[in-house]
Amino acid sequence: MNPTPESGCGCAEDRTLSRRRFLTAAGLAGAAALPMVSTRAAWAASGSWSGPVLLVLSLRGGMDGLSTVVPVGDPDYARKRPGIGVPASVALPTGDRMFGLHPKLAPLLPLWQSGRMAAVHAVGTPDGSRSHFQATEELERAAPGTSVRTGWLDRVLAAAGTGTVYESVHLGAGTVPALLAGPAPALAMNGLAGFALEGGDWITPQMTRALRTLHAGTDLPTAAAGTMTLDALATAQSVVAGRGAPQNGAQYPSGDLGSVLADAATLVRSGLGLQALTIDVGDWDMHNGLGDTDTGWMATKLAELAAGLAAFAADLGPLFDRVTVLTISEFGRRVAENGSGGVDHGHGNAVLLLGGGLVGGRVHGTWPGLADAALDDGDLAGTTDYRNVLAEVLVKRMGLSTGQLGGVFPGLPVRLPGAFAAAAA
């Protein structure tokens, strides 16, 4: 992935964001309980996990939800976006006269129409900073007004994790993002094929054999972690060796996103106890030159995203129903376009949902409108707290009890938006 917004903002914060995201990652834990490392290793061997999987796609830089799930029926939309607005005539129909999808989401339209895709609009966060860094930190910590320092997804896994090495995986970078930061160890890798010792083929098997022995028969503090790592390496290699071409004619787009989504499908299929996958998709910070609906910056990003997710769904086939894909971004963007053909940092945003269990083919949430009086400091107001979108996924899809939500999102008044059907018994 390329988590760094390469252009647009010009704010120094942009570069810091990606750096900081690296830094807030790996390990942390503070006074965390020691995980049961040996149990984790044993679980990984079973290969029999068939429970739900959550894939969080972090759209870093501030994705413009108004260009993605377009409020074509809101008269203020075209008026405030005369240059870069998506015309109603080209937007894809959603079944709701208020909204159309960006035309570049066309590969996902079959999923929308078959009920395996939905959106929630006007999703907001408690953070009003409109700062990439602060908004991202608050988004991923998801515990405003508290001294909790772990990520929300880590708290989910602490409450309901399978306890396997492959319980949670961040694909596309070597360290985990802040939403996974905390005591439940998460695996971070650039990709399955690259998760390997870098000694070269001529020596790696010999090194691996020696390391097996060196981490056995000792109670030195890192021995169990070393054995777990060797298991994880062996698993990655066997999974890569055993995978064939993508199934059902799925064609992943070339580039990083396609490659990590192909790995994601492989991991879902492999039954390793995987419950949570996180992937970063960067470069959404479109302060200038957002572009037209056919060839512009936004069009290019959405085309790649749609092609990747369509291939992911096709590749998984019926297994896609076990999966919930959720997009999230640190903030939406200003309603009115700026003088550079872009949009500045805003607030309310759209969340895309894909997978099984949805009340699909619909835009959920409460639309506050784009009239001046309805805006939050010039931005789309947030009428659904993003934590409630996550909470609904956790309760209806990931097997958490309502009681466990309090530990994941402290202090959240629970009001589920109704984007998912009731959990199966």
Partner 1 sequence: MPLDTVHLLRRTTYGITPELLADVAAVGGPGAWLEQQLAPQGVADPVADAVLARFPLAVADPPVCYGAMSNGAWDSMVQVVGATVARQLWSRRQLLEVMVDFWSNHLNITCPSSEVWATKAWDDVHVVRANALGSFADMLAASVTSPAMLLYLNNAESQGRAPNENYGRELLELHTVGIDAGYAQADVVAAARALSGLSVWNPWNGGTAATNGTFRYRADWHWVGPVQVLGWQHPNADRTAGVAVARSLVRYLAGHPATAARIARKLAVRFVSDDPPQSLVDALAAAYLAGGTAVVPVLRALFASPEFAASVGQKVRRPHEDWMATLRAVGVAPDPTSSSRAAVEGWMWAVEDLGNGPLGWGQPDGYPDVASAWSGAGTTLGRWNLHLAAVQQWWKDGVTYAGLADRLLGATKPTTRGALVDALCARLLPGQTLTSAHRAALVGFLGADGPVRNGDLTWMLGPLVAVVLDSPYWSVR
Is residue 424 at the binding interface for partner 1, with CB under 8 A as the rule? no
Residues forming a β-bridge with 118: 353
Stretch that binds partner 1, among 75-83, 155-163, 203-211, 391-399 (CB under 8 A): 203-211
| Cβ-based nearer residue to partner 1, 139 or 250 | 139
Contacts of 225 (CB under 8 A, 6+ apart): 37
Is residue 223 at the binding interface for partner 1, with CB under 8 A as the rule? yes
| Cβ-based nearer residue to partner 1, 190 or 338 | 190
- Distance, CA of 1 to CA of 127 (rounded, Å): 26
Residues forming a β-bridge with 325: 55, 354
Question: Closest approach of Cβ 381 to partner 1, in Å?
Answer: 23
Is residue 167 at the binding interface for partner 1, with CB under 8 A as the rule? no
Question: Closest approach of Cβ 194 to partner 1, in Å?
Answer: 10
Question: Closest approach of Cβ 49 to partner 1, in Å?
Answer: 17
- Single residue of 110, 214, 295, 378 touching partner 1 by CB under 8 A: 214
Contacts of 37 (CB under 8 A, 6+ apart): 224, 225, 228
- Distance, CA of 169 to CA of 183 (rounded, Å): 14
What burial class does residue 398 get, using C-beta atoms within 10 Å of its C-beta: 0-12 exposed, 13-18 middle, 19+ buried? buried
| Cβ-based nearer residue to partner 1, 47 or 73 | 47
Is residue 234 at the binding interface for partner 1, with CB under 8 A as the rule? no
Residues forming a β-bridge with 56: 278, 326
Q: What is the strand order of the sheet 92-93 is part of?
A: 69-70, 100-101, 92-93
Is residue 27 at the binding interface for partner 1, with CB under 8 A as the rule? yes
Stretch that binds partner 1, among 95-103, 181-189, 269-277, 357-365 (CB under 8 A): 181-189
Stretch that binds partner 1, among 11-19, 316-324, 365-373, 399-407 (CB under 8 A): 11-19
Contacts of 344 (CB under 8 A, 6+ apart): 287, 333, 334, 338
Stretch that binds partner 1, among 99-107, 152-160, 211-219, 240-248 (CB under 8 A): 211-219
Q: Which two tokens stand for residue 113?
A: 């129409």
Which has the closest alpha carbon to 12: 140, 127, 132? Answer: 132
For partner 1, what does the binding mask look like between residues 130 and 149, x meaning CB under 8 A? ---x---x---------x-x
Is residue 28 at the binding interface for partner 1, with CB under 8 A as the rule? yes
Question: Closest approach of Cβ 375 to partner 1, in Å?
Answer: 23
For the chain, the residue count is 425
- Distance, CA of 177 to CA of 58 (rounded, Å): 10
Question: Closest approach of Cβ 185 to partner 1, in Å?
Answer: 4
Specify the 3-state DSSP secondary structure of 178: helix
Residue ranges binding partner 1 (CB under 8 A): 11-13, 15-16, 19-35, 37, 133, 137, 147, 149, 165, 174-176, 178, 183, 185-189, 195, 197-199, 203, 206-207, 209-211, 213-218, 220-226, 228-229, 231-233
